[in-house]
């Protein structure tokens, strides 16, 4: 009986995770034997250092144990990453680990679903991101970017991360709803920013019952803000449904046109949940990657000079594209793809994994592997000038059927923002020395928020 051995198994659980899972996964790859509480602190406070240390000690594949969770096996060999990304949908479940986001994105979100339900939703959303629609959105992104850049102060030390958050919020609201001005935009911007702040707070990680036992505090405030955001989003959906022939490249228009396999349209709830998913998944990630872009470029004068002349000459796309790929390699804002929870036993790289273990493809480790990228800590866009990144060794957007739906959108947005910023301003670092990496919920951001000083180029 499990109950009898409680004290011992509780100690073991604290140290190594659930002992039953450990026993069934006796052959898990080696990893740190520190208590899980200490591993959790390492993982949350010094994630990149923690990962690198584990790789030095245990190799490209190792097991880490975080408090109150089943073991996570970190994988960074491209062959093994391929096996994880291409495993059948009923064997590995990425959606389960994202359940924590349900209060924000709603139960129909593609982030939370697995197997057939996931594919069905993804098929409905994918057309919104096809090449032609993306092209249709570029002029709008450029306009929003120019307006933001003009409003930023000159000659003052400022953190670029919050500025980029404001910029990507306006871009995603325009791309999703076509909103460019007006009260609804102002209100939605405010409500979503507050909701996302809650998503970043440690409180959001607790089970609902523990979040607000007396219906007070941040959880109650979150519920109120969410109700306001829902009201605004449903009003937008209603307005669009009244104008079925309005067309447009906005994402909401594509979702209203989308049809399930049986020919039925998406329900209001489905559209609401997918729109919120795109707002949540597409805003903070892109803002942080842009903040890293400036943190890196201002410390790499040669790259910066080449990029500026490429952009000025107007045929800068190959160098700009290569620079963006290198930023995503060197500073991936998500250190790993979504953890895949084993549902049915699977063998990867000759190791058999039993249910409940999480398999995690590590973008940080594979993208800093000297066997794949010589001098991996050097920032060198030239790596990608003559060759495209590999499918399983460049994974800032994950891979397989779960690959990020907004990968092209994000890279296009990054290109527009960098092009517009470097054409109109001279950007310098706020201080010497690289900024440390700090964790902000699931993303890693520059420690001082990418401090920079802007000057108008005409007067620079
Ligand atoms: C630089 C910016 C971005 C980065 C680094 C990023 C990264 C990622 C990663 C690593 C995943 C998990 C993939 C996996 O586990 O295999 C993901 C999923 C996703 N991303 Fe992004 N993303 C970015 C921007 C965007 C944008 C702009 C959007 C939408 C407008 C978006 C929407 C999504 C969605 C909906 C998913 C879930 C896909 C699924 O589960 O099938 N992302 N992203």
| Number of neighbouring beta carbons within 10 Å of residue 184 | 16
pLDDT bracket for residue 294 (50, 70, 90): very high
Q: Average pLDDT over the chain, rounded to whole?
A: 89
pLDDT of residue 370: 97
pTM of the shown model: 0.92
Cα angle, residue 184 at apex, residues 410 and 280 outer, rounded to 5°? 30
Spatial distance between the Cα atoms of 404 and 409, rounded to a whole number of angstroms: 10
The string of pLDDT tens digits covering residues 85-107 is 999 999 999 988 888 888 889 99
Cα–Cα distances in Å, from 218 out to 98, 186, 279, 345?
21, 22, 21, 40
Question: Residue 404: CB within 6 Å of ligand 1?
Answer: yes
Q: Which H/E stretch holds residue 130?
A: none
Is 397 a pocket residue for ligand 1 (Cβ < 6 Å)? yes
The pLDDT-based confidence of 182 (bands split at 50, 70, 90) is confident
Separation of CA 448 and ligand 1 centre (Å): 25
- pLDDT digit string, tens, across residues 330-388: 999 999 999 999 999 999 999 999 999 999 999 999 999 999 999 999 999 999 998 99
pLDDT in tens, 216-230: 677 788 888 889 999
Extents of the domains making up the chain? 70-456
C-alpha 270 – ligand 1 centre gap (Å): 18
Tokens 């140290």 correspond to: 15
Q: According to the model, what pLDDT value does residue 16 have?
A: 42
Residue in 283, 404, 417, 418 to alter for ligand 1 test, most ligand atoms within 8 A of Cβ: 404
Verify whether ligand 1 is closer than 6 Å to residue 423 (CB atom).
no
For ligand 1, what atom is nearest to the CA of residue 98?
40
Burial of 283 (0-12, 13-18, 19+ CB in 10 A): buried
410 lines ligand 1 (CB under 6 A): yes
273 lines ligand 1 (CB under 6 A): no
The verdict on the CB of residue 229 being under 6 Å from ligand 1 is no
Q: Quick one: pLDDT band at residue 9, thresholds 50, 70, 90? A: very low
Mean pLDDT of 23-33: 79
- What's the rounded mean pLDDT across residues 184-193? 89
For ligand 1, whether the C-beta of 406 sits within 6 Å is: yes
Q: What is the pLDDT of residue 123?
A: 95
**With bands split at pLDDT 50, 70 and 90, how would you rate the model's confidence at 238?**
very high
Where does the pLDDT of residue 3 fall: very low under 50, low under 70, confident under 90, or very high at 90 and above?
very low
Ligand 1 nearest atom to the CA of residue 401, by list position: 41
pLDDT, residue 288, reads 97
What pLDDT is stored for residue 4 in this prediction?
Answer: 31
Cα 209 to middle of ligand 1, angstroms? 29
Ligand 1: does its nearest atom lie under 6 Å from the Cβ of 32?
no
Q: How far is ligand 1, taken at its centre, from the CA of residue 233, in Å?
A: 21
Highest mean pLDDT among 76-85, 204-213, 233-242, 250-259: 76-85
* Ligand 1 pocket, mutate which of 144, 281, 283, 360 (most atoms under 8 A from CB): 281
- Residue 48: pLDDT band (50, 70, 90) is very high
| Domain 70-456: top CATH class | mainly alpha
Confidence (pLDDT) at 316:
73
Q: Nearest residue CA, atom 17 of ligand 1? A: 404
Band the pLDDT of 2: cuts 50, 70, 90: very low
- Position 13 scores a pLDDT of 41
Ligand 1 in contact with 277 (CB < 6 A)?
yes
Q: Give mean pLDDT, residues 414-426.
A: 96
Q: Give the model confidence (pLDDT) of 298-310 as tens digits.
A: 999 999 999 999 9
> Are 43 and 72 in contact, with CB atoms under 8 Å apart?
no
Nearest protein Cα to ligand 1, atom 36: 404
Residue 209 predicted with pLDDT over 60: no
Report the separation in Å between the CA atom of 97 and the middle of ligand 1, taken as the mean of its atom positions.
Answer: 15
Question: Is the distance from the beta carbon of residue 398 to the nearest atom of ligand 1 less than 6 Å?
Answer: yes
Q: Which residues of 130-141 are buried (b: 16+ CB within 10 A; e: fewer)?
A: eeebbeebeebb
Residue nearest to atom 20 of ligand 1 (CA): 404
Q: What is the pLDDT of residue 201?
A: 62
Helix and strand totals (H; E) in the chain: 18, 12
């Amino acid at each position: 009986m499990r109950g009898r051995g409680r004290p011992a198994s509780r100690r073991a659980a604290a140290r190594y995770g659930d002992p039953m899972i450990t026993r069934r996964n006796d052959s898990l790859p080696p990893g740190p034997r520190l208590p899980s509480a200490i591993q959790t602190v390492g993982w949350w406070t010094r994630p990149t250092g923690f990962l690198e240390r584990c790789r030095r000690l245990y190799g490209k594949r190792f097991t880490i144990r975080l408090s109150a969770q089943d073991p996570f096996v970190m994988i960074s060999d491209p062959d093994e990453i391929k096996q994880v990304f291409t495993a059948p949908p009923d064997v590995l479940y990425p959606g389960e680990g994202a359940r924590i986001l349900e209060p924000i994105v709603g139960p129909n979100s593609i982030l939370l679903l697995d197997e057939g339900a996931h594919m069905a939703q993804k098929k409905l959303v994918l057309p919104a991101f096809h090449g032609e629609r993306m092209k249709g959105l570029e002029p709008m992104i450029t306009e929003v970017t120019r307006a933001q850049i003009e409003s930023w102060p000159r000659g003052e030390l400022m953190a670029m991360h919050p500025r980029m958050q404001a910029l990507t919020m306006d871009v995603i609201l325009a791309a999703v709803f076509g909103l460019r001005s007006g009260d609804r935009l102002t209100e939605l911007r405010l409500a979503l920013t507050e909701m996302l702040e809650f998503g970043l707070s440690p409180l959001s990680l607790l089970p609902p019952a523990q979040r607000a036992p007396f219906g007070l505090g941040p959880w109650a405030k979150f519920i109120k803000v969410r109700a306001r955001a829902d009201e605004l989003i449903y009003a937008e959906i209603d307005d669009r449904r009244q104008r079925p022939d309005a067309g447009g490249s906005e994402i909401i228009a594509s979702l209203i046109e989308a049809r399930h396999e049986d020919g039925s349209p998406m329900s209001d709830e489905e559209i609401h949940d997918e729109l919120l998913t795109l707002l949540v998944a597409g805003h903070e990630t892109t803002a942080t990657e842009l903040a890293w872009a400036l943190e890196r470029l201002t410390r790499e004068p040669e790259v910066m000079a080449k990029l500026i002349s490429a952009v000025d000459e107007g045929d800068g796309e190959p160098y700009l594209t290569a620079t963006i790929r290198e930023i995503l390699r060197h500073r991936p804002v998500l250190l790993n793809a979504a953890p895949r929870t084993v549902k049915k036993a699977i063998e990867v790289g000759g190791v058999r994994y039993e249910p409940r273990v999480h398999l995690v493809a590590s973008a940080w480790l594979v993208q800093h592997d000297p066997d794949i990228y010589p001098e991996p800590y050097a920032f060198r866009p030239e790596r990608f000038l003559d060759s495209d990144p590999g499918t399983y060794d460049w994974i800032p957007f994950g891979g397989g059927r779960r690959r990020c739906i907004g990968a092209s959108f994000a890279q296009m947005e990054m290109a527009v923002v960098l092009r517009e910023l470097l054409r109109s301003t001279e950007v310098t670092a706020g201080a010497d020395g690289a900024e440390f990496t700090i964790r902000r919920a699931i993303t890693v951001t520059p420690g001082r928020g990418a401090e920079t000083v802007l000057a108008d180029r005409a007067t620079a």
